[in-house]
Amino acid sequence: MLESGPSFLNRIDSLDSSAPLHSPRYLIPLDLRNVPQYRFDAVVVGSGAGGSTAALEAARAGSSVALLSKAALESSNTLLAKGGMAAVLGEGDSIAAHVQDTLRVGCDLADPKVVEDVVSCGPAAVQALLSMGAELDRDESGALELSKEGGHSQPRIVHAGVDATGKAIQSSLVRSVRATERISSFEHVFAIDLLSTPEGRVAGVLCSTERRELVVFQAPQIILATGGAGQIYRETTNPVIATADGVAMAVRAGAVVRDMEFIQFHPTCLYIAGAARVLISEVVRGAGGVLRDRNGLRFMPESHPAAELAPRDVVSRAVFDSMLATDDTSAYLDLSGLDRDPHQAFSGLSSICEFFGIDIATDPIPVRPGCHYQVGGLKVDREGHTSVPGLWAVGEVASSGLHGANRMGSNSLLEALVLGAATGAAVGQTVQADVSRSLPSFTVREQGPKTPPVRVNVDDLVYSLKSLMWRELGVRRTGTGMNEALDKMRFWSRAVRAMPLEDPRAWEFSNMLEVAQLITLSALAREESRGVHHRSDFEGARPEWLAHTELTPQGNEAMIESVGIERRSLASALSSS
């Protein structure tokens, strides 16, 4: 346990902190007598790299595992990962260098012990992928090809198909999951709520199947691997399923969240009307792509010594500022100076741009930042325990201590594989040591609100929330704008609490609105600019804010009663265990 000072030294007096942030403990009323229940040793919610790896390790330890996927098993944030996975494999590189790079990019909030543990396991994680049949890119000598990305001092990014690494990793994991007898996969299942016993232990997941039938998956150990919250923002690289469900469910169950203000924006998303916001990997800039404004001026060398390979928060702000300065809707990525044919090097990007009449070898590619990664999340320890008994978390939904205030590129897949394995193994050991096999009894919500006298347009609310978050909680933030955003969110929350939530879109909006408020409260609490959190009214990092923000649900209605900063000096963090 890390030593810390008082938990609530910085209260936000201007906020009505007693106002509930979301609906009651459960989203929908439930009569368990009419709902089928299935029993497993462990339930994993989410089939990306973290969830699939955790499921595989728990099964290897002898546990029966239910793996729940909101869409198909193959569909996840992992599938869309472009650049690759960081691991120390090349000559001239070292574990110490990778650790130092990660700590530097994390702006002094990453946990040095967690960073060292995860980075040290990188080479083994790559070997595990190869043993599962992942086909990673190799050079002419047959060695794994290593690329360099922003924040990294050495080439250490393994990749597949140059910018299709996520697909290769996800495909390998899914093949292994399907071949593992102890894992039962349930696809197109929406996890609505975590079910708690009267003692507050999480021991089940209430779900809706593809046929809109309710079902409960029981288990003494529940692992959340639901990914992030990218769909809260209008501009995002995330898939449509990334609607913050995991954090929202866990907070309703009483889990502590940490550092929710840190939302990473990817600086180069393809920005063409009618096209999905396709992420253009840092590998493209690593190969020589440069950023220019509408007048052809290259602006990154003035923003950072590493220019286009600066950390993502720096590049995102520079792109955003360039857009404002030139009154344009985007900046432009120029690949004309590459020493190889960009059509061959980046065939996927070439095909998309060609459809819209852009020749990437000669034409500027319009780009702008997009919400990319939820750096904060559910507070967990090294093995993935949350603050709620029976509940674990891994991957983007969790705050493990690896990223600090800013995730370094390609460290997320590393985290998912390494900590996913650690969490799965720990769950497997816990299941085997648990001699009690009694069936749990759950507290439930027996009645819901009546149908309101007016029709609520949920799709309109979703769009309004996404636009609000992009405008006030985006690359640059101010206290005034965030307070105004919070007022609107609380207005919408009253409507949500008064209406029955009867379908997946309404459940998603409730989750998105809940987590949007957590992000806003945390961002208001941090009165400085650090990492990916940049406040125009508090420029620069402040030593007295070398701390984590934590929000703790209180009471049966899971209300957030106060906002505080857990102050912890770096010296005490390093000396404590």
- What mean pLDDT do residues 528-536 have? 95
Report the catalytic residues.
Answer: 312
Q: What is the pLDDT of residues 467-487, one digit of tens each?
A: 999 999 999 999 999 999 999
pTM given for the model: 0.89
Domains belonging to the chain, first-starting first, are 50-261+373-433 (3.50.50.60), 263-372 (3.90.700.10)
Cβ atoms of residues 510 and 544 within 8 Å: no
Q: What is the pLDDT of residues 102-144, one digit of tens each?
A: 999 999 999 999 999 999 999 999 999 999 999 999 998 999 9
Mean pLDDT is lowest, of 39-48, 230-239, 518-527, 553-562, for 553-562
For position 18, what pLDDT does the model report? 39
- What mean pLDDT do residues 523-541 have? 94
Give the contacts of 55 (CB within 8 A, at least 6 positions apart).
Answer: 42, 44, 65, 67, 177, 180, 183, 223, 424
For position 435, what pLDDT does the model report? 57
Q: Would the pLDDT of 450 be above 90? A: no
For position 437, what pLDDT does the model report? 59
Distance CA 262, CA 15 (A): 20
Give the contacts of 44 (CB within 8 A, at least 6 positions apart).
Answer: 51, 54, 55, 58, 65, 66, 67, 68, 223, 225
Q: What is the pLDDT of residues 364-408, one digit of tens each?
A: 999 999 999 999 999 999 999 999 999 999 999 999 999 999 999
For position 577, what pLDDT does the model report? 28
- What mean pLDDT do residues 537-557 have? 82
For position 409, what pLDDT does the model report? 85
Residue 418: name the closest of 68, 42, 98, 82 by CA.
98
Q: Would the pLDDT of 416 be above 90? A: yes
In the structure, what pLDDT confidence band is assigned to residue 166 with cuts at 50, 70 and 90? confident
Q: Would the pLDDT of 558 be above 70? A: no
For position 162, what pLDDT does the model report? 66
For position 362, what pLDDT does the model report? 95
The length of the chain, given as a count of residues: 577
Task: Please tell me which residue, 346 or 4, carries the higher pLDDT value.
Answer: 346
Backbone angles phi, psi at 182, to 5 degrees: -80, -5
For position 568, what pLDDT does the model report? 38
Most trustworthy range by pLDDT among 235-239, 278-282, 377-381: 377-381
